[in-house]
Amino acid sequence: MNSPRSLTVAAVQTSPVFGRVDANLDAALALVPGGCDLAVLPELFASGYQFRSRAEAASFAEDLAPDAASGPVTTRLAAHAAATGTTLVAGLVEREGANEGLRLFNSALLVRPDGTRDVYRKVHLFMDEKLLFDPGDRPFPVFAACGTKVGLMICFDWIFPEAARSLALGGARVIAHPCNLVLPWCQEAMVTRCLENAVHAVTANRVGCENRTGNELAFSGGSQVVAPRGERLARLPSTGTGAAVARIAPGVPGTQVTLRNDLLADRRPGLYRG
Ligand code: ACM
């Protein structure tokens, strides 16, 4: 593995078939490049995206509490991380409680090679996700992983600048961003998110279409790794699977943009609304 100052990161672009969890896991993990420190897989990468009902989403859910028995997706991710030394971030359905108290989250799991793991629950639900999932109930998290600070957000969180800003204020040097993007603007917007926060972002999107509800969704690929000054270090096309791989120095450059300006220290929160 590389020293903490320099990491190899990958945004893995997949094409899952709805409901084929084992095949989707096999295909996604086969795309994770060897020798990576951090690999990000898409949102809901093992199940597929367009659930017909909350009950259907629940049938794919895993309990991600630290003391819970690992579900099939968690088990495969943990085994891959342990075998390869790669920290993985990937999206899946999370359940908490049962029966009347059941809560479902569109979550991202971070799994380290030593088996430790952390979770983010998507805060800004997109479209029909509001009918399926409970909104995330915890602040945007930053975790120590692969020798740096990794912040997590999921897909539509991109359109709220507060998400990436919260992660930057929490010390994130790399944003891991699992996606199932259908709107056309995120890949461009993430350039600005990186620039305004001096962070790297690894945005992993899927390709292909789903139409299980009469509302066809076409996923836009374009998985990418963006650097703190907005440079795209790697980018995949809008079709096809693969991995956008880049070598990054997570702490460089920092938040100072001129001799007299710092992106975080120069903020004027007292003058901002809300
Ligand atoms: C999205 O948040 N999956 C667009």
Boundaries of every domain in the chain: 7-271
CA distance 219 to 242: 15
Query: Ligand 1 atom closest to Cα of 154?
Result: 2
Tell me, yes or no, if 146 is annotated catalytic: no
pLDDT digits (tens, 9 = 90+) for 220-229: 999 999 999 9
pLDDT above 50: residue 110: yes
pLDDT digits (tens, 9 = 90+) for 161-217: 999 999 999 999 999 999 999 999 999 999 999 999 999 999 999 999 999 999 999
Tell me, yes or no, if 188 is annotated catalytic: no
Task: Give pLDDT, residue 274.
Answer: 79
Task: Give pLDDT, residue 144.
Answer: 98
CA distance 69 to 75: 9
Tell me, yes or no, if 43 is annotated catalytic: yes
CA distance 20 to 24: 6
CA distance 207 to 24: 13
Which option is the CATH number for 7-271: 3.40.605.10, 3.40.50.300, 3.10.620.30, 3.60.110.10?
3.60.110.10
Query: Looking at residues 27-47, what average pLDDT do you find?
Result: 98
Q: Phi/psi of residue 186, each to 5°? A: -60, -45
Tell me the pTM.
Answer: 0.97
- Which residue out of 43, 51, 132, 207 has the highest number of ligand 1 atoms within 8 Å of its CB and is therefore the one to mutate? 43
- Secondary structure (DSSP) of 70-88: P-HHHHHHHHHHHHH--EE
Whole-angstrom CA distances from 247 to 13, 108, 174, 233, 250 are: 18, 23, 12, 8, 9
- Nearest alpha-carbon partner for 84 in 47, 30, 131: 30
Distance from first CA to last CA of the chain, Å, rounded? 43
Catalytic residue among 155, 179, 186, 194: 155
Whole-angstrom CA distances from 135 to 67, 229, 240, 269 are: 23, 31, 31, 26
Provide, for the chain, the percentages of residues in helix, strand and coil under a 3-state DSSP scheme, each rounded to the nearest 5.
25, 30, 45
pLDDT digits (tens, 9 = 90+) for 69-109: 999 999 999 999 999 999 999 999 999 999 999 999 999 99
CA distance 252 to 250: 6
Question: Which residue type sits at 131?
Answer: L
List all residues whose CB is within 6 A of at least one atom of ligand 1: 43, 126, 155-156, 180-182
Helices vs strands, H then E, count in the chain: 6, 17
Q: Residue length, the chain?
A: 274
Location of structure tokens 């999206």: 91
Query: Ligand 1 atom closest to Cα of 126?
Result: 2
Strands 62-63, 87-96: pairing kind: parallel
How far, in Å, from the CA of 123 to the mean position of ligand 1? 11
Whole-angstrom CA distances from 4 to 126, 247, 251 are: 35, 12, 10
179 neighbors 155 (Cβ within 8 angstroms): yes
